[in-house]
Structure 1
Amino acid sequence: MKQVKNFENKKILVLGLARSGEAAARLLVKLGAIVTVNDSKPFDENPSAQTLLEEGIKVICGSHPLELLDEEFAYMVKNPGIPYTNPMVVRAAEKNIPVITEVELAYLISEAPIIGITGSNGKTTTTTMIADVLNHAKQSALLSGNIGYPASEVAQSAVSNDTLVMELSSFQLMGIEEFHPHIAVITNLMPTHIDYHGSFENYVEAKWNIQKNMTSDDTIILNFNQELAKDLATKTSAKVVPFSTKEKIDGAYLEDGTLYFRGQAVMKADELCVPGSHNVENALATIAVAKLSGVSDEAIRETLTHFGGVKHRLQYLGEVSGVKFYNDSKSTNILATQKALSGFDNKKVILIAGGLDRGNEFDELVPDFVGLKKMVILGESAPRVKRAANKAEVAYLDAKNVADAAKIAFENAEAGDVVLLSPANASWDMYKNFEVRGDEFIAAFEAIKGE
């Protein structure tokens, strides 16, 4: 860990806890900062704050008092989920207090180079694929960032022979100043988090921050299936390496069922262990990173032919009586479910869908529903999902929850079929988050398998 002096003897406010806030607070203390943590959750219900207080760190809980900013803070380290419209963040800006996120801290102290991955869909899978390939090739890759391992925590123990493979959200990328990966990947850019960013243009701008400090010595890998990416490619100092499933390019591409890198065949697309056109894109991005990192075709192929996916992201659970189960609880929007269905033969799929009612119809999914063997529909949005199923002329059954849906789907399946949980909806009508929803599906699969 680099012993940077940026924060020594300076007052720093950490706004918001969760794992990244805890990690940032502890790191700043190690760097000699005078740290105050402010979190909205009451102290009595806040184990993280209690632990930090026991460690001698000042904590203020239960509210965000604006007068706190009357102290002379040199920086605010903001939890990524807190919007810039938050009164504390607005006041910090008014007082010219720099607002950063903990990935900036990670960069400043890291002895290891960084591969940064962002995008609207596929970034967790791609991040995991890249780390797995590098590790299989005996290059020490450490998962970090938005994937569940706070970057500022992982960076503390990383050495120069390691590589931080870091998933980055748009929220995190808005809070960087010097952050500088040597390789960056943008998987794709779709309209999402508009409620946070205010517009798609603002969202793209936040994502594009990943390359703002990159130079001609660095490389950014872009999805040339998107015209937007081709436009962005003209607006960076970094070398651009594209990937595409639609055209032969000077990068990673799909041609006649084979994945290539700059004219060299690497592996067959149907050798990928995870289904779906989106996973072909993820694999191409991974291949580009791997080849630029000196990984052999053999190591790439060996890794990707055994890659089982990421939990809750088109995760293969196994099969019972010839029926395969896939957990895609992370599919909380229409596009993600479209991508999931693209990897299967519809006539063998029983799809479990539905969840939080956000007021939108599902007409975009009608072409993707056509030919499904059956659907099992649940949640607040069920009437809207049923309208789309009717338009696609797909029969459906009702379920009261995910466990019930898994049981109903299995009872209506036969050998060779697939039971796919890919809800196309958020989980909050019935579950705390998509992980809880997915865990219930996993438990239901295990129960069915044990019967």
Structure 2
Amino acid sequence: MELKNKRVLVVGLGKSGIAAAMFLRQQGAQVTVSDARSATALAKEIPALLDAGIMVEAGGHGLLTFRRQDLIVISPGVPLDTPEVKQVIGYGMPVIGELELASRFLKGRIVAITGSNGKTTTTTLIGKILAEAQLLTLVGGNIGTPVIDLIPKSTDETIDVLEVSSFQLETIEQFRPWIAVVLNITPDHLDRHGSFENYAAMKTRITELQQADDFLILNAEDKPTQMVAVKTKAQIFWFSPRRPIKQGAFVHGESIVFIPREGAKAEPIMPVAEIPLKGSHNVENVLAAVCAARLAGVPAEKIRSAVTSFKAVEHRLEFVRSLHGVEYFNDSKATNVDATMKAIAAFPGGVHLILGGKDKDSDYTLLVPLLRERVKAVYTIGSAAEKIERQLHGVVKMVEAGTMDAAVREAQKVAVAGDVVLLAPACSSFDQFENYEHRGRVFRQIVQELS
């Protein structure tokens, strides 16, 4: 991809947008960035961009700015139906995302992981397994490190382990993973994609360009994920915590086993009891990681060693502290209803649940059975609070907390030894926090300050 002297516009100044702008400038492109936020809001970012010779448009998008480009690179947070983006697509101007741009320059083979829930845990675990097996491994993507920042370190021998979101997959053209993993597909980001069908179609794009010598790993217990199988040319490997399968990883008795090809003997990998992570959903994440690691050539003993020493990823059912016999867990990454259901299910009962944030057109009534079975009280925060309270009225005790600080302190007042205070909000964070990490850090700080 020739970029020297090309006029390129980067839309959206999130972490990946800034990384893309800097990379494009290093490649000799004439770069402009455009963001709807004001110059005041972007005060931290603008000086470095200007110093690099990048033009900055803040406080809105100008259609002329868009039309004067050779290429437009949009950040994952920018919808394709943004009026200016929609118009230039109609004019036939090339529009790609940071993932697609980076993949044109990234060396080595790609292991890409997507799904509604479990992406970060599985991506981190696969990266750990491969690295401990002495394979040259880079980890990035939606997990926090922009893919484009991996380019300088990548080589032909590198395995690039990437967490990819539906937003990133929306703008791919040539992105082709060697190993693709689809963990699950449950309703999420409906405010962006419009319908579950559109959202699922974006997830399916991960295998769109795979060929017969590539691999696709799918969840045998998730019906929407199973549908991806009819869309691929890749070799399919399945994982299941419930039943034997012909090719892939599954739980047999009390152990995880792997079958490398149909008709082959099952290879023992490790006892399920050695998985250090809470929740049955993490068994699925480990099974997916086992498939990816074995396909990458990692032996069973290396996989077992890496899994047993793996610690919960920050903001994913992360243990914060125990106070007076009450345990506090941070699952700020539970940004949709399905993730919150999995978090609740990780505890037998006595849960004080903090719910709320920015609604993503979610159906909170799906929580009702678990709330009745395991939750003592729900503490609502953020702009989604009214909708949550309306949909869950009469199911369980509801406390209109409003803020994180109030929610934690209200829960502390009534929680008794053996109970759990759980942040698993089922919403995005952008009404009160910068992102889910910021929300999780605030929760942790409040909990640590409790006396």
Q: Same fold (TM over 0.5)?
A: yes
Cα gap change, 1:407 to 1:90, in 2 (>3 Å): closer
Report what 1:254 is aligned to. Answer: 251
SS in structure 2 of the partner of residue 43 of structure 1: coil
Q: Residues 409-428 of structure 1 correspond to what in structure 2 (within 5 A)?
A: 409-428=411-430
8 Å contact kept, 1:121–1:187: yes
In the TM superposition, residue 355 of structure 1 has moved relative to its aligned partner by 4.4
Q: Secondary structure at the match of 2:104?
A: helix
**Partners of 2:385 and 2:402 within 8 A in 1:** no
- The answer to whether the aligner puts 1:300 opposite 2:303 as a matched pair is yes
Query: Does the aligned pair in 2 maintain the 1:117–1:167 contact within 8 Å?
Result: yes
d(CA) in 1 for partners of 2:379, 2:189: 26
What whole-Å deviation, never above 9, does each CA across 1:17-50 have from its counterpart, x for those lacking one? 2221121122122223222222223335423233
Matched with 2:323 is 320
Number of equivalences: 442
* TM-aligned CA distance change 1:359 to 1:154, over 3 Å: closer
Distance 1:324-1:387 versus aligned 2 partners, 3 A rule: same
- Deviation larger for 377-386 or 331-340: 377-386
Q: Alignment identity in percent? A: 39
> How far apart are the structure 1 equivalents of 2:151 and 2:75?
18
Q: Does 1:226 align with 2:222?
A: yes
Question: How do residues 40-439 of structure 1 correspond to structure 2 at under 5 angstroms?
Answer: 40-46=36-42, 47-71=44-68, 73-249=69-245, 250-262=247-259, 263-346=266-349, 348-356=350-358, 362-372=364-374, 374-379=376-381, 391-392=394-395, 394-395=396-397, 399=401, 401-428=403-430, 430-439=432-441
Secondary structure in 2 matching 1:144: strand
CA gap of 1:207–1:390, structure 2 versus 1, over 3 A, is: closer
Residues in 2 aligned to 1:403 and 1:114: alpha-carbon distance in whole angstroms: 42
Letter in 2 for 1:157: K
Amino acid at match of 1:103: L
CA distance in 2, matches of 1:395, 1:199: 31
Report which stretch shifted further, 363-372 or 233-242.
363-372
Q: CA deviation at 1:86?
A: 1.3
User: What's the secondary structure of 1:17's corresponding residue?
Assistant: coil
The amino acid across from 1:324 in the alignment is E
Asked whether the equivalents of residues 322 and 414 of structure 1 are also in contact (C-alpha less than 8 Å), the reply is: yes
CA root-mean-square deviation: 2.6
Instruction: Give structure 2 stretches of 5+ with no counterpart.
Output: 260-265
Shift of 1:133: 1.7
State which drifts further: 232-241 or 291-300.
291-300
Residues 335-355 of structure 1: per-residue CA shift (max 9 Å, x gap): 111111222211x43333344
Compare 9-18 and 142-151 and name the one that shifted more. 9-18
Q: Sort the Cα spacing of 1:74 and 1:238 in 2 relative to 1 into closer, same or farther, 3 A.
A: same
Cα separation, partners in 2 of 1:358 and 1:107, compared to 1, 3 Å:
closer
Structure 1 counterpart of 2:58, one-letter code = C
Q: Quote the Cα distance in structure 1 between the aligned partners of 2:70 and 2:424.
A: 45
Question: Could you tell which deviates more after superposition, 249-258 or 209-218?
Answer: 249-258
Distance in 1 of aligned mates of 2:427 and 2:47: 35
Task: Return 5+ residue gaps in structure 1 as ranges.
Answer: none
Partners of 1:351 and 1:376 within 8 A in 2: yes
**1:369–1:198 distance in 2 versus 1, CA, 3 Å:** closer
Task: Quickly say closer, same or farther: Cα 1:114–1:276, change in 2 above 3 A.
Answer: same
* TM-score (structure 1 length as normaliser): 0.89
- Relative to the length of structure 2, the TM-score reads 0.89
- What is the Cα deviation at residue 96 of structure 1? 1.2
